[in-house]
Amino acid sequence: MKIRSVDYAGTIVEPGAPLPGDLPQVAFAGRSNVGKSSLINAILRRTRKKMAHVSATPGKTRAVNFFRVNDRFFLVDLPGYGYARVPDAMRKDWARLMEGYLSRPDGPVAVVHLVDARHPPTGADVQMLGYLAQVGLPALVILTKIDKLSRSERTTRLREAPDRLGLDPEQIIPFSSKTGEGRDALLEALDALLTATEGGGSGVVAEGTEGVEEAVETGEAEEVEAEEVGKETEGAG
């Protein structure tokens, strides 16, 4: 799939708000600081005039942003989750917004979930993918920042990630916003997905699930633990 046109289509800050149109939606999700904005700008080839804002403060985005691509589908940028330095009320708002949007009958046809390749998939990643499976949303996993790994680290991560996340290896794509690796593979996967869903039905409604909020809470706890370990390491040095 070639990117011919990209336009900002709208933003929602409430899960039940009207959507900007009836095109199929593919949502992009991931923990804060996973490189989601950089990836979106890279696949859309928006380097001078960036569509997704790369924030210096992880966890700052609190809205669902829609970008119309090729007048064929909406690329949907979800808020990053798992940033510990936010009030509890804000965390709950994020979870409510994301879970409400993902469970809409007119919501996304699939989710592209981003995982930082520099670290093993976290408990929050596992919980989020479990939630997506529960509501019947197809998921594709992108291992971001793959250029930061050595050859041996890359081999290990690509071998371990499918088992850790409970996915088939073909559902995982290594990606680098810096080198462009994985861009064509991701666009091909999106094209195949959209071709399969065009003229098809709607999303799946989730009932009685708390997976998104649990993933947000787990992500925050893991970040706090990582910070404490880092401080202990510095003190020992």
The CATH number covering residue 135 comes to: 3.40.50.300
CB 164 within 8 A of CB 130: no
- Please report the pLDDT score of residue 45 as a whole number: 83
DSSP, collapsed to helix, strand or coil, labels residue 129 as: helix
- Please report the pLDDT score of residue 231 as a whole number: 45
The answer to whether residue 174 sits within a structural domain is yes
Q: How many domains does the chain have?
A: 1
How far, in Å, CA of 187 to CA of 206, rounded? 28
The answer to whether residue 58 sits within a structural domain is yes
CB 212 within 8 A of CB 95: yes
The answer to whether residue 39 sits within a structural domain is yes
Mean pLDDT over all residues of the chain?
80
10 Å Cβ neighbour count for 116? 20
10 Å Cβ neighbour count for 166? 12
What stretches in the chain show pLDDT beneath 70?
46-61, 82-91, 199-237
- pTM here is 0.79
- Please report the pLDDT score of residue 207 as a whole number: 36
The answer to whether residue 91 sits within a structural domain is yes
The answer to whether residue 95 sits within a structural domain is yes
The answer to whether residue 1 sits within a structural domain is no
Which contacts of 158-167 are long-range, i.e. CB under 8 A and separated by 24 or more positions? 160/120, 161/115, 161/120, 161/121, 164/120, 164/121, 164/126, 165/115, 165/121, 165/125, 165/126, 165/129, 165/141, 166/126, 166/129, 166/130, 166/133, 167/129, 167/139, 167/141
| Strand 64-69 relative to strand 25-30, pairing | unpaired
- Please report the pLDDT score of residue 234 as a whole number: 46
- 175-211 pLDDT, tens per residue? 999 999 999 999 999 999 999 887 554 433 333 344 5
CA distances 1 to 131, 189, 190, Å, are 29, 9, 8
The answer to whether residue 68 sits within a structural domain is yes
Residue-range definition of the domain harbouring residue 153: 6-236
- Which tokens belong to 13? 């800050």
The answer to whether residue 154 sits within a structural domain is yes
